[in-house]
């Protein structure tokens, strides 16, 4: 797409490029093709492109993927894209501010990749909305002003290193893959641009992301101040700096990501912050009628497929979204997949209802005296030979979860969960899928 074609589209749509909307359109085919090549597209991919504009990048994606979702804020450009792709059923044009786009519905479309020659002014907010953990993307390619891309990938000791670098690098491997000069845009911007490739990182130990972010905000709040004057009081600073191997006068910008994770772990007050060794826990063994017939260790029960007891709890907010938890990658069973809001085994001698109340507190920090029974599930391979009682509660307040067990939590609309399970059962713990079927049967009033 060259400058003449772009001018024609702009004339036709009546768009006068707006600086506020970052409307600098790419005029160089080779650059556009080069950017898209970093998405490493496959026919089964879904791609979300934010700010497609006149379609310079879009045309290199159409026809190569299963679905393409275009999110464009300018109503005239969105209308023109809709017209252009009217005969291409896999293209969906969404006329919306990408900062407001509901990313949760994208989980049902995995594998999914993110593409955007982002508007400079709202690029940060768009990235935060789409690319913060938990997100559904397996890869993201973004173009922004060079100065911002440099900050994303900067390391300690570099002037660009700071809060943004650590936030993004705690979720993604970041690599600058292209530098793009102003001359390949219409109109020509005043700054250079760069393209970054972001790939989700799975090489970090579990850490409490909210605490990490809070400590970063404090630490970088006054960049030139010594860190110990900025972090919460009441911790042994000498012990922490010895652990980090740094001087007591250290400043936030001198510490790398691994050191920030050490700080986060040091400040984490959650009683379950260490990865638990669970093999020796004792559970009741039960017969086919769910009657207790003895006890055994967790390791023995799982090794022998013996029947035992568990609870799952579905937590709903006032809008009736369901809270799902992303299980830690360190879990021995079903690592790194989505699961019920809370779930766990009954301890030996424990009742179902009290186990559900305990799990809610331990896994989510929700204090409830009672939970409502939704239904009972028989043992099967899918439940891991567990008799499960499923409970539900409504809850709105703060959530507090142990990072050793739970990587992230997210509220999902029920229709998203339906679609997601249908498309991607492998994204879920099998016990959760059985519980979901039970919940759907019970809420439809057709329990069997």
Q: Per rule CB under 6 A, is residue 322 in the interface with ligand SAM?
A: no
Binding range to ligand SAM, per CB under 6 A, among 19-27, 157-165, 328-336, 418-426: 19-27
Spell out, one character per residue from 38 to 67, where the chain touches ligand SAM: x when CB under 6 A holds, - when not: ------------xxxxx-xx----------
CB of 14 to ligand SAM, least distance (A): 13
Query: Taken in order 273, 279, 280, 285, is the CA torsion positive or negative?
Result: positive
Q: Of the two residues 21 and 324, which places its CB atom closer to ligand SAM in the complex?
A: 21
CB of 128 to ligand SAM, least distance (A): 12
> What's the rounded Cα separation, in Å, for the pair 382 and 421?
14
State the maximum Cα–Cα separation within the chain, in Å, rounded to a whole number. 80
How many of the chain's residues bind ligand SAM (CB under 6 A)? Answer: 24
Q: Per rule CB under 6 A, is residue 356 in the interface with ligand SAM?
A: no
Contacting residue, 21, 140, 342, 343, with ligand SAM by CB under 6 A: 21
Residues 88-117 that bind ligand SAM (CB under 6 A): 97-99, 117
Alpha carbon separation from 346 to 259, 281, 284, 332, 340 (Å, rounded): 37, 10, 8, 17, 16
Q: Per rule CB under 6 A, is residue 77 in the interface with ligand SAM?
A: yes
Q: Of the two residues 9 and 285, which places its CB atom closer to ligand SAM in the complex?
A: 9
Q: Per rule CB under 6 A, is residue 119 in the interface with ligand SAM?
A: yes
Contacting residue, 9, 10, 26, 324, with ligand SAM by CB under 6 A: 26
Q: Per rule CB under 6 A, is residue 127 in the interface with ligand SAM?
A: no
Q: Of the two residues 122 and 383, which places its CB atom closer to ligand SAM in the complex?
A: 122
Q: Of the two residues 125 and 272, which places its CB atom closer to ligand SAM in the complex?
A: 125
Which residues lie near ligand SAM (CB under 6 A)? 21-26, 50-54, 56-57, 71-74, 77, 97-99, 117, 119, 122
């Amino acid at each position: 797409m060259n400058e003449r074609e772009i001018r024609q589209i702009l004339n036709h749509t009546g768009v006068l490029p707006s600086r506020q909307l970052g409307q600098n359109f790419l005029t160089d085919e080779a650059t556009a093709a080069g950017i898209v090549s970093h998405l490493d597209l496959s026919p089964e991919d879904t791609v979300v492109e934010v700010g497609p504009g006149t379609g310079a990048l879009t045309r290199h994606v159409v026809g190569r993927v299963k679905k393409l979702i275009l999110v464009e804020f300018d109503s005239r450009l969105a209308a023109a894209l809709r017209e252009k792709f009217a005969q291409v059923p896999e293209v969906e044009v969404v006329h919306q501010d990408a900062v407001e786009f509901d990313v949760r519905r994208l989980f049902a479309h995995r594998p999914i990749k993110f593409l955007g020659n982002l508007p400079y002014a709202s690029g940060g907010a768009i990235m935060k909305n789409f690319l913060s953990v938990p997100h559904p993307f397996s890869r993201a390619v973004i173009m922004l002003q060079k100065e911002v891309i440099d900050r994303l990938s900067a390391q300690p000791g570099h002037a660009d290193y700071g809060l943004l670098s650590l936030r993004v690098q705690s979720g993604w491997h970041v690599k600058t893959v292209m530098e793009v000069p102003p001359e390949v845009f219409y109109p020509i911007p005043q700054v250079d641009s760069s393209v970054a490739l972001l790939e989700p990182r799975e090489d970090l130990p579990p850490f409490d992301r909210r605490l990490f972010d809070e400590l970063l905000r404090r630490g970088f709040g006054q960049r030139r101040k010594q860190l110990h004057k900025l972090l919460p009081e009441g911790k042994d600073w000498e012990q922490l700096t010895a652990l980090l191997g740094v001087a007591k006068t250290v400043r936030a910008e001198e510490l790398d990501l691994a050191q920030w994770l050490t700080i986060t772990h040091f400040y984490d007050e959650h009683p379950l912050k260490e990865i638990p060794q669970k093999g020796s826990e004792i559970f009741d063994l039960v017969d086919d009628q769910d009657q207790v017939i003895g006890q055994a260790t967790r390791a023995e029960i799982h090794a022998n497929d013996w029947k035992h007891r568990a609870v799952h709890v579905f937590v709903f907010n006032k809008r009736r979204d369901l809270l799902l938890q992303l299980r830690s990658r360190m879990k021995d069973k079903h690592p790194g997949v989505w699961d019920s809001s809370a779930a766990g085994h009954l301890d030996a001698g424990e009742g179902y209802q009290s186990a559900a109340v305990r799990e809610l507190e331990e896994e989510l920090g929700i204090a409830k005296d009672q939970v409502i029974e939704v239904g009972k599930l028989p043992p099967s391979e899918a439940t891991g030979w567990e008799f499960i009682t499923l409970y539900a509660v409504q809850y709105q307040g703060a959530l507090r979860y142990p990072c050793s067990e739970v990587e992230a939590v997210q509220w999902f609309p029920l229709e998203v969960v339906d679609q997601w399970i249908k498309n991607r059962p492998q994204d879920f713990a099998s016990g959760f899928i059985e519980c979901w079927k039970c919940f759907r049967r019970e809420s439809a009033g057709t329990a069997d």
